[in-house]
Amino acid sequence: MKNEKLKQQILSYALLVLGSALFAVGDVMFVNPYHLAPGGVYGLANVFNALWGWKISVAGICMDIPLLIIGTIILGPRFGIKTVISVILIPVFTYILETMWGYAPVIHDGAFFDAEMQSSLFFMDGEAQRFFMPDFFLNTVVSGLIYGVAIGVIFRAGATSGGSDIIAMIAHKYTKISLGTLVLIVDSCISLTTLIAFEDIRLPIYSIILIFIESKIIDLVVEGVKSYKTAFIVTDKIDEVRNFILKDLDRSGTVFAGSGLYQGAERKMIYVTLNRGDLVKLKANLRFLDPNAFVNVIESSEIMGNGFKALPTE
């Protein structure tokens, strides 16, 4: 048991390092050159970098650490050591990339210019500004994928990236607004700073699209592919349906007894969780087993227990 816990701890810290490095890659090489600000303190840091040349890593950690301290004072010690490590690792990797790579974009049409051209964006190359022709859509999709994987891996490691989430948590403590809504409000306000700073309506729009893609990828990394469905089957042919599930689908389930709301007649209901393929077979055969059956199918984001994902060890 101790060896297993040690392996899990080593894996979680390895994921933390990987997620922090990926976040830095996404920010420096994809998000920053396009002047995007997909929420968080690093969204603001990108704006500060483009306007005044501040290093993203320095601006990010100068905002993250005070927020972490203020959050701990107001909310209590809810931020663990892994979150503190993440807050330190992200600017470290960001600084390394800033120093070794600079702010040159990865996605472009292959042309760079030394003088400003219409519909072009700039990045700092030493003391000079260079310009490139952007591909906003492709860059936004790739940025969302990288950000989503990075933050999802950090979440899987049991940490958070801190930043604007702390602002939302503090606001949540003193308001009745849900935490998810507050996070969306804070990140959207940060994205809108690109419109004020650069007077380009495309930037906040693409930033918000990036946030949407990122959120979906985070769910995918943290929860996995939602490939299971839960079916509630109310039927008078309980034996026929039960035998089909047990023998043909090789699945188990639970039978509940109840009564109808309208007539009060006794009815039985089967509760069963299936993958998509088995659900298709069940629906196809229910028309023969019991054409009058009532079926409610819901999405199951996570299934744990016998035959599915193992229960957590701690």
248-261 residue pLDDT tens: 888 888 898 888 77
By the 8 A CB rule, do 242 and 270 touch? yes
Residues 36 and 152 in one domain: yes
Residues 126 and 108 in one domain: yes
**Cα separation of 27 and 181, whole Å?**
24
Residues 121-140: tens digit of each pLDDT: 887 777 677 888 899 999 99
Question: Is 6 within a domain?
Answer: yes
pLDDT(91) > 90: yes
Would you state the pLDDT for residue 25? 97
Would you state the pLDDT for residue 276? 81
Please indicate whether residue 131 or residue 149 has the higher confidence score (pLDDT).
149
Given 175, 194, 223, which residue is the final one in a domain?
Answer: 223
Residues 25 and 110 in one domain: yes
The domain tally of the chain equals 2
Q: Tell me the mean pLDDT in the region 198-205.
A: 93
By the 8 A CB rule, do 133 and 34 touch? no
Residues 54-73: tens digit of each pLDDT: 999 999 999 999 999 998 88
Question: Is 52 within a domain?
Answer: yes
Residues 47 and 127 in one domain: yes
pLDDT bin (cut points 50, 70, 90) of residue 311 is low
Question: Is 197 within a domain?
Answer: yes
Residues 72-82: tens digit of each pLDDT: 888 887 678 88
Q: Is this structure's pTM higher than 0.95?
A: no
Question: Is 308 within a domain?
Answer: no
Q: Residue 309 has what DSSP assignment?
A: B
Residues 104-123: tens digit of each pLDDT: 999 988 777 776 555 578 87
pLDDT(161) > 80: no
Residues 2-32: tens digit of each pLDDT: 677 788 889 989 999 999 999 999 999 999 9
What is the share, in percent, of the chain residues with pLDDT greater than 70?
91
Would you state the pLDDT for residue 191? 94
Angle at 166 between CA 60 and CA 85, to 5 degrees: 55
Question: Is 188 within a domain?
Answer: yes
Q: Tell me the mean pLDDT in the region 29-48.
A: 94
- Identify which of 54, 188, 223, 25 has the alpha carbon closest to the alpha carbon of residue 124: 54
Q: Tell me the mean pLDDT in the region 141-164.
A: 89
> Domain span at residue 139?
2-223
Residues 188 and 244 in one domain: no
Would you state the pLDDT for residue 303? 72
Q: Would strands 294-300 and 228-235 be described as parallel, antiparallel, or unpaired?
A: antiparallel
Residues 136 and 233 in one domain: no
Residues 99 and 241 in one domain: no
**Cα separation of 220 and 204, whole Å?**
24
Residues 136 and 255 in one domain: no
Residues 45 and 98 in one domain: yes
Residues 84 and 182 in one domain: yes
Residues 262 and 181 in one domain: no
Question: Is 271 within a domain?
Answer: yes
- Identify which of 187, 179, 35, 22 has the alpha carbon closest to the alpha carbon of residue 103: 35
Given 223, 249, 265, which residue is the final one in a domain?
Answer: 223
pLDDT bin (cut points 50, 70, 90) of residue 310 is low
Conformation bin of residue 108: beta by default, left when phi > 0, alpha when psi is -120 to 50: beta
Given 223, 243, 270, which residue is the final one in a domain?
Answer: 223
Residues 147 and 109 in one domain: yes
296 class by beta-carbon count within 10 Å (0-12 exposed, 13-18 middle, 19+ buried): exposed
Would you state the pLDDT for residue 28? 96
Half-sphere exposure of 237 (CA within 13 A, CB side): 15
Residue whose pair of structure tokens reads 């028309």 in the numeric block: 287
**Cα separation of 169 and 188, whole Å?**
16
Question: Is 152 within a domain?
Answer: yes
Question: Is 11 within a domain?
Answer: yes
Strand order in the sheet with 228-235: 254-259, 266-275, 228-235, 294-300
**Cα separation of 227 and 249, whole Å?**
16
**Cα separation of 115 and 225, whole Å?**
47
